[in-house]
Structure 1
Amino acid sequence: MTLPAPLDRADAVVFDAYGTLLDIHSAVQRHAAAIGPEAQTLSGTWRQKQLEYSWVLSLCGRYAPFWTLTERALDVALALHPGVDRGLRADLLEAYRSLDAYPEVPATLDALRRAGLRTAILSNGDGAMLDAALRAAGLESRLDAVLSVDPAGTFKTSPRAYDLAPERLGVARERIVFVSSNRWDIAGAAAYGFAPVWVNRTDQPDEYPGLAPVRVIRALDGLLA
């Protein structure tokens, strides 16, 4: 199989999990009828606060498990959307533990491994939440490694977080293609020295000049096109 760039120069493909392999908005969508018209904005606020807390803690030199930040972010999102029933909190958190994978993900991971590439996740998620999510999505057997930033004690985009991938896989950073739907994560990966591929599912504008992806795709199967 002839692989397109940048896969033709890679030994491993490392993926972000949340928003890249797993649909972060599927938790709220499962309960959209009960939430009502604020479902989409609630989901956006939940994600925004989750990421905001990870960046602020990292800049402060502090750390908490990503699940803790996910819970805190939902509490603030519910407070900011008082029209949403707070009694849905437990259901929403349970749904977040078993997010849907994007439909093209399983076949893409299988194709990459058939092509001789190692596949891994490097995620802000802590080990327990990643294990639950990947098991629910049926992805755990399709990955050679699942790496949480927990051992680094900091979140992406810290270089210490990205260090975990080459150290664990035994692959030089320039031989790793890093795939994320988060443009800030692509910027961090570019600065670190990975070959970053941005999955821009919703036609977001480009950001972070000087820290560009080597390729932009609309969905994960675009890696192989």
Structure 2
Amino acid sequence: MTSNFNLFDSTVTVDQYIVAFQETVIMVGVSLFIGALIGIPLAVILVITRPQGLHPNRWVYGILNVVINIIRSVPFVILMVSITPLTRLIAQTTIGTQAALVPLTIFVAPFISRLIESALLDVDDGIIEAAETLGASTAQTIWYFLLPEAKGSIILALTTACIGLIGATAMAGTIGGGGIGDLAYTYGYQQFDTVTVLITVLILIVIVQIIQTLGNHFAARRRSA
């Protein structure tokens, strides 16, 4: 049952805030998961094919590096608009939470790949040398040496990507993507509802603080293990 209770003088009901929060969680969670599935392997490929990598390959590294840079250089709002045909093809719509997942995933995947690449490059060269000394294959070096050693930094990288996605979902709301951003734009901006804007900003601040705190906690635990 929909509540008629309004927060302060806001025209938005409590139920609308709850639904918007749920939509934001879905958009961030799903796009982060899919983006990580794409971005982490891309980061590994970048690291092993770079000039000083385990298996240098200038063509693979060069092409992948350029493609990632191109996607990352496009502002999210422009990216959303420019891939509208692709969004319609995949999601069968260009409006709503489901549609927003397409540009959000394309936005975050290369972002994650760069963050994870940086985390992997920070691993001490001695770890790689130890793996080679033990006769580990490339796959074994990545899985048993490189990734575990960088786990703390990877957690922080995914935390940063998650927070970046929260900002992107807010922008997705300007084109009907749903979530807290849509609430702020539809009611706060278009209807001059200052209270709604303040409440949505407060909600976003709380979410970001919680995510950053959890990310820092788990990263610290991993590094001290």
TM over 0.5: no
Q: Which has the higher helix share?
A: 2
TM-score, normalised via structure 2 length: 0.28
TM-score, normalised via structure 1 length: 0.28
